[in-house]
Structure formats: C-alpha cells, structure tokens
Amino acid sequence: MAKITFITQENETITVEGNSGSLMELAVNNNVRGIDGDCGGVCSCATCHVHLSPEHMETVGSPSEIENDMLELDDNVSEYSRLSCQIQLSEALDGLVLKVAN
Amino acid sequence: MDKSQLNDPFEQARLEKGIGHMNDQGDPVQMLLRLKDVRKAAHQWKSFQSGGDEIGRIVIPSEEKIRDIRQIPFEVDPPEHGEYRALVDAWFKRPLETEYQEKLHRQIESLIDGIAQMDSVEVVSQLALPLQSRALTLLLNIPYEESETWIGWGTHVFRSEETSLDGDKAAILYDYIDAQIDKAIANPGDDFYSVLLDADFQGRKLTKEEVKGVMILTFAGGRDTVINAVTNTIAYFAEHPESLKRLKKEPEIIGKAVEELARYFSPLTHMGRVVAEDTQVCEHAAKANSRISLCWASANRDASVFERPNEVVLDRKMNPHVAFGFSHHKCLGATHARQILKTLITVLSQKIETIAILDSKENIEDLDQFKRKVGFDSLHVQFKPMA
Ligand code: HEM
Ligand code: FES
C-alpha cells in the first residue's frame, strides 16, 4: 500500500491509498478534480498532468520523450511536470504529494 | 484479408517533405503531415487561426460558399473559444455517467440483436447510421423517437452523391434546427437546446444564432466521423476474429483498443487553419491569409513516434495519437464517441462469434496529391451470433 496525496487547483487535499495501476487511475477512481484521464492512460490527452514536489523527482523519475512532447505543449508545464498515467503505483511512492496542474 | 485495411497514402511525402498540397476550389492548402508539426500548429492558435472572418474556410473542402453561420466553438479563437467551451464542456462529459452508459448499452445491444440473424446486413445504413442517430438522442437528452427523423435524412445530408458539398442538403438540417430552437424557446426542458438558450455568456444569454452555431456543429461533427468509425470497426473485426475473441477474454484492454482503432481509422482526415501572418511550416513558407491543414490521419502513422504504425496493436500502451485533434479545439464529442466504440466492442465480443464480409464499396477521399480511404460507401456483412 502506498499513500498518495493530490492537491487540486482549488486547494482541496485528497489523500488516498492504492497498490496497483497508475496514479491517473487512482485519481480518477477517487474523483480528484482536474484529473480526467480522457484517453485511458495511453499518453494522448494530457488530462492527467501533475506537478511533483522537487524532493520526489528522483524517486519517480523523469518523463520519456513521448511524454515530454505532450507536456511541452500543455498549460502550466514546469520542470516538475509529469503525466500521472505514466507513473505506476508502488510501495516506493508512499508519501508522494502531487499538485494537479490544470 | 485486406478490406478492413486503411493504407497510409501520406508516408512518402511525410518523410521527404513533411507537407502535402491540395488545391481546394482555387484556395490551396498546405497539409502538415508530421505528428510534431501538427501538434505545434494546433497549439499555436495565434499563428494558425480558426476564428477568421471567412466562415467555413477552415473546413476542407471549404464551406465558405455554402455556409454563413459560424460554428461554435469550432470557428472561434481563444480567449472567446474558452468561454464557449466552458459553457458546454460539462454537458459533453455526461457519457461518463452510469445511467447514460446503461442506456447506450441497451441501444447498441438491441441494434445488434436485431441484425445478428439476418442473411445480409448493410452496415452503413442498417447499423452505423441508426446507432449514431440513436446515441445522439442521449447526448442531446431528447426523446429517442427523434432519431427516426435523422435516420430518414440518410448518410448524405451534408454531402451529395456527386459532390462533397451541397448547400440544398445542408438547408434541411438548418431548417430543422431552427424549428427545434423555436420549440425549446416556447417550451424549455432539460434538453441541450434549452440548456444552451439558458446559458450565460459574457453577462448575457446566447443568441439564437449562437445556439444554432453550436447545434449545427454537434450534428455535423458527430455524424460521418462516428459512422466511419463504426463501419470500419465492423470490417476490422470481420477480418480479425482473433481480436474479438481476445477482447472477450480481456475486456480490461477495450479502452486501449478504442484509442488504437481511433488512431488507425482517423475518421477525420484533416482540418484547416488560416495563417495569420507570413511564417514557416516545417521549413516551407506559409503566406499570410493562406491555408494550412492539420492532417491527423498522417500524423497518426508517423513512424518516428509510433512503432509498427500501419498495424492495429490492440493494447498499444504508448499511443499519443491525434485522432480527436489536439490542444484548444480537441474534440468536444470525444467522450461520447469513445463510449460508443467501447460499448459496441463490448456487445460484439459478447454476442458475435464471427463476421463475414459479403460485399463492399470503399469511400475514398480525393485530396489531390493523396487518395485516402476513410471508410465505406457500403459494407455488406453476415454476422454469426454466439451459440
Ligand atoms: C470518432 C469520432 C470523432 C472523431 C474522430 C472526431 C474528430 C475531431 C477532431 C480531429 C476535432 C478537432 C478539429 C480542429 O482542431 O479543428 C474535432 C472537434 C470537434 N468535434 Fe469531433 N470527432 C468525433 C466525434 C464527434 C462527436 C460525436 C461530436 C458531437 C456530437 C463531435 C463534436 C466536435 C466538436 C463540437 C468539435 C469542435 C471543438 C472545438 O472547436 O473546441 N465530434 N473532432
Ligand atoms: S490519461 Fe491521457 S495522457 Fe494521461
């Protein structure tokens, strides 16, 4: 089990637990505002854009080239941007805090 | 085994030049063919505009001569575009609701049940058109019976047999929408017309003209696209029975399969933009007030991004396709379209053993330099129901 916290644009804080699937799926299943996951997680819609906190960047890793190309043209992109459908849940992510980008 | 295949006519031009040329009624179009270029241009709305004065010009073939009503939000640029989208975005997300999905499931199930035993089914007129029309009653939240009228228009209400543009045929739709708007004014309900008429925009209500502009787009944007997607899906499963079996066993990949079929079919080939000032696209000069197009169909076969681009890989994991467009104007009806395809695949996988193609006539788009198959004018099949 990993505990993940989402902070929405409206500054709502939602902490949920999960052990499999992607962070996008976790967010959608828990109705996190601003994470729509329109394409179901195939890196085609960017409706799952989040910002990591700097200290978590290393644990989670950086985006692939395809993901980067998507992020580049999305609103509110930063060096801490990731598409949450491209991050798989695991014990190692326990305590992760994510800001919903849009 | 090649009737369901959709070839990629753009490959050579995409690799060599990155652009293609089309002379549409004397108003030429430079077609962007590479995924990255298409995405960038879609994003750069200031340079490549949708909302210019010449209404109908970003559609290819151009509708400038046959239409003077602005389609909303399609022919509007930011920031106004975003204000219109804000009025309708939530409405177009309703296909995510359980009740909507159950109704759609029942519609599609009863359609398939109705044709599964027939010796010969013409897919475009007996499945795709009724399916598209009935599903639209859910999206607009109006009585199911209304779909009878739309089915009666046939597949060619916006196109005629001879030419792809026909003002007289379009008039049928426009008159119909006028009448429906008047009805909703006289008798407001919880249908899409009434919701639009009641919406607040920049401190006022939408005008009748604006409501009409949204409604025409909803009808036109969701018709041929969905019909082609449904028909191509049937042809694909006819020639790939193993895929249908796999989806029955692994329903969890249906979502990915829908994205992959959308990529492979790319039911909307391309869409235009007007160049705001002299610039370059893919290292070619693009003059102010000339037209470019964003060729979704070509971008979706770009081998620099997609592995094995000409194959349907049902569970493709990285699939950054642009079948539903990209950036500001990305398809408003995509949630509805995706739900239709998910439901269709689910029902087929549960009820149909195999599909045999009896006869078919391809629908080839003529893009001057390129000829592209988008679907079928007719497709005759026989279903074999599950025992
Ligand atoms: C498989 C089916 C469909 C495909 C492939 C498709 C494709 C597209 C594409 C590529 C765009 C972008 C156009 C641009 O950038 O200029 C678009 C926009 C749009 N589509 Fe779809 N579409 C489909 C179904 C539908 C349906 C069912 C509806 C509604 C009933 C619809 C309504 C719209 C609207 C309103 C827009 C304009 C959005 C805007 O300008 O903000 N589409 N569609
Ligand atoms: S869910 Fe579509 S890109 Fe992540």
pLDDT in tens, B20-54: 999 999 999 999 999 999 999 999 999 999 999 99
pLDDT of residue B387: 85
Percent of chain A with pLDDT over 70: 100
Helix locations, chain A, DSSP H: 23-29, 57-60, 65-72
H/E segment holding residue A14: strand A13-18
Does residue B272's CB lie within 6 angstroms of at least one atom of ligand 1? no
Compute the Cα dihedral for B363, B365, B371, B373 and give only its sign. negative
Q: What is the DSSP letter of A101?
A: -
Query: If you classify domain A2-100 with CATH, what class do you get?
Result: alpha beta
Closest to A89 in 3D by CA, of A7, A28, A13: A28
> Model confidence over B288-342: pLDDT tens digits?
999 999 999 999 999 999 999 999 999 999 999 999 999 999 999 999 999 999 9
Q: Is the pLDDT of residue B105 over 60?
A: yes
pLDDT of residue B161: 46
Can you read off the two tokens belonging to residue B302? 């770009």
Residues from chain B contacting residue A41 (CB–CB below 8 Å) = 255
Residues from chain A contacting residue B338 (CB–CB below 8 Å) = 38
Indicate the residue type of B264: Y
How confident is the model over B109-134, as a mean pLDDT?
98
Q: Distance, CA B52 to ligand 1 centroid (Å)?
A: 19
β-partners of residue B378 are: B361
Closest to A63 in 3D by CA, of A84, A44, A47: A84
Cβ contact (<8 Å) for B320 and A43? yes
Cβ contact (<8 Å) for A70 and B322? no
Pairing of strands A2-7, A13-18: antiparallel
> Model confidence over B282-294: pLDDT tens digits?
989 999 999 999 9
Pairing of strands B370-385, B352-367: antiparallel
Residues from chain A contacting residue B256 (CB–CB below 8 Å) = 40, 42
Burial class (CB in 10 A: 0-12, 13-18, 19+), B99: exposed
> Model confidence over A33-74: pLDDT tens digits?
999 999 999 999 999 999 999 999 999 999 999 999 999 999
Indicate the residue type of B356: A
pTM of the entire predicted model: 0.97
Nearest CA to ligand 1 atom 15: B329
Q: Which domains does chain B have, with CATH numbers?
A: 11-142+221-385 (1.10.630.10)
Q: Kindly list the domain boundaries of chain A, sorted by start residue.
A: 2-100
Rounded to an integer, what distance in angstroms lies between the CA atom of residue A100 and that of residue A88?
A: 17
Mean pLDDT, chain A, rounded, equals: 96
ipTM, two decimals, is 0.95
Can you read off the two tokens belonging to residue B91? 């409405």
* Probe target for ligand 2 pocket from A26, A29, A47, with the most ligand atoms within 8 Å of CB: A47
Rounded to an integer, what distance in angstroms lies between the CA atom of residue B227 and that of residue B219?
A: 12
Q: Distance, CA A43 to ligand 2 centroid (Å)?
A: 5
Q: Is the pLDDT of residue B155 over 90?
A: no
Q: Looking at the complex, does the CB of residue A73 fall below 8 Å from at least one CB of chain B?
A: yes
pLDDT of residue B170: 76
* Probe target for ligand 2 pocket from A35, A36, A39, A75, with the most ligand atoms within 8 Å of CB: A39
How confident is the model over B187-215, as a mean pLDDT?
97
Does residue A47's CB lie within 6 angstroms of at least one atom of ligand 2? yes
Give the chain B residue whose CA is nearest to the CA of A28.
B96
pLDDT of residue B160: 46
Cβ contact (<8 Å) for A39 and B319? yes
Mean pLDDT, chain B, rounded, equals: 95
Closest to A49 in 3D by CA, of A10, A2, A85, A73: A85
Q: Looking at the complex, does the CB of residue A43 fall below 8 Å from at least one CB of chain B?
A: yes
